[in-house]
Structure 1
């Protein structure tokens, strides 16, 4: 099957790799990014057929902006067969700092509200057509909480639960909802990590496996499969064992990291 795929966060990393994977499989592209000029330069540098792609500038963290991009896509290219809500951010936080609550707000605005707003323009017309696929990019980090990673882990846990809820709502109307949970992928997000990243994948390898999972109609898939095994073990690991496993593990960097605050100070 080929058609039109709509991808957010398409200007780098996983999103860019997914765009190339779908294009090479014969699909047309609707690419969403804040850096739309950079996105166009990339598409042209790749030699993509101008008739098979279009770029939409939008800020995923602003619901009105990303929803407007979806409506523009429908008006200009038609209703996509596949919508991939890939845009996401990862910022370390420490709840002892008051200002880090804004970090959590920023992460949720992109990773959760932005994901729902990405899907919103397409749900009703897909239901009316009785066909289409909505893909949420979650993370293995959504399985258990990691030190310094409270905003990101909780946001990705919410992606998993949200997509599961949406899957039940859309199934009667023939619309599929797929949740993809990547492990560690070599992207600008993960290169900042200061801890070991087992089973690290290249974006191109991830994109190929994600394409296969989406095409096969999987409802939930962890990529790579080795991290799926790890995820299943983490789900059942007793808290005491989990805490011992993470003892001494470096924290995720805070945004503008400094010294830990004194008790009672912000």
Structure 2
């Protein structure tokens, strides 16, 4: 049985200005912990850092766009050189999708979500893989989604990005864990965040971002390979993989869902 990782003291979180990223930053904020918080909204990010400092943690903010490979590499390398990162949580993400009657997503929106949800993840972890392996310790955590288990007809590009993150993290896990680097995939259901609030749909088993952070932190503390919640929705998604594809298509298209198009653009 694999031993759980040591309690992290230097933690990098992307998308830390709101939602799950913010909740995780505050969950980890305590004396002896140094947080490196990356985001694009300076006011909100500084507010998170100030609260974390009030809880006894050190907190540094980085106003970096995860899509910018060079800027991410420079910022993360500098941070790791001064305070080696024990835990990196690749959390930053956006959503986009379709409304009833829509046929296809905007190509600009599709490329924006690929740039953030997939390329942004690569830009986050790539600067740390060699460094963590060289030290023989560390932990990489990827925020995936139940949408990554089965393509959703109202969110094709979002589903594709999360499926890619799932495959990437699973591939890294087998490669890096022999080097002492733990890799964990978080398969999240509906979490009440500003991102999720923009979606008009029935959201079964929705939980708060604070509850999600508690579940994620507990799983990361144990070094779990997969941290999935809520279990009923995760089980249903896994079951759908075993059923006839067109049957699942018919079931899924019965749901009335409206996912607004992201206004982000790749460039």
- Number of aligned residue pairs: give it: 254
Q: What does 1:9-28 correspond to in 2, within 5 Å?
A: 9-24=15-30, 27-28=33-34
**TM-score normalized by the length of structure 1:** 0.88
Q: Give the secondary structure class of the aligned counterpart of 1:67.
A: helix
Separation in 1, partners of 2:97, 2:75: 29
Aligned to 2:93: 88
In the TM superposition, residue 148 of structure 1 has moved relative to its aligned partner by: 2.5
In the TM superposition, residue 50 of structure 1 has moved relative to its aligned partner by: 7.3
Q: Deviations over 1:124-174 (max 9, x none)?
A: 111111000000100001111112301100100000001111112212211
Separation in 2, partners of 1:242, 1:35: 39
8 A Cα contact 1:130 1:175, kept in partner? yes
**Does 2:167 match 1:167?**
no
Q: Give the secondary structure class of the aligned counterpart of 1:253.
A: coil
8 A Cα contact 1:210 1:223, kept in partner? no
Q: What does 1:37-76 correspond to in 2, within 5 Å?
A: 37-45=43-51, 48=54, 52-76=58-82
Aligned CA distance change for structure 1 residues 23 and 254 (closer, same or farther; 3 Å): closer
Q: Give the secondary structure class of the aligned counterpart of 1:231.
A: helix
Aligned to 2:3: none
**TM-score normalized by the length of structure 2:** 0.88
In the TM superposition, residue 25 of structure 1 has moved relative to its aligned partner by: 8.1
Q: Give the secondary structure class of the aligned counterpart of 1:115.
A: helix
Separation in 2, partners of 1:26, 1:174: 23
Aligned to 2:132: 126
In the TM superposition, residue 44 of structure 1 has moved relative to its aligned partner by: 2.0
Aligned to 2:144: 138
Separation in 2, partners of 1:181, 1:24: 26
Separation in 2, partners of 1:46, 1:70: 20
Unaligned runs of 5+ in 1: 258-266
Q: Deviations over 1:197-248 (max 9, x none)?
A: 1000100011011001111111112122222222221221221321221233
**Does 2:198 match 1:195?**
no
8 A Cα contact 2:15 2:92, kept in partner? yes
8 A Cα contact 1:33 1:39, kept in partner? yes
**Does 2:245 match 1:239?**
yes
Aligned to 2:4: none
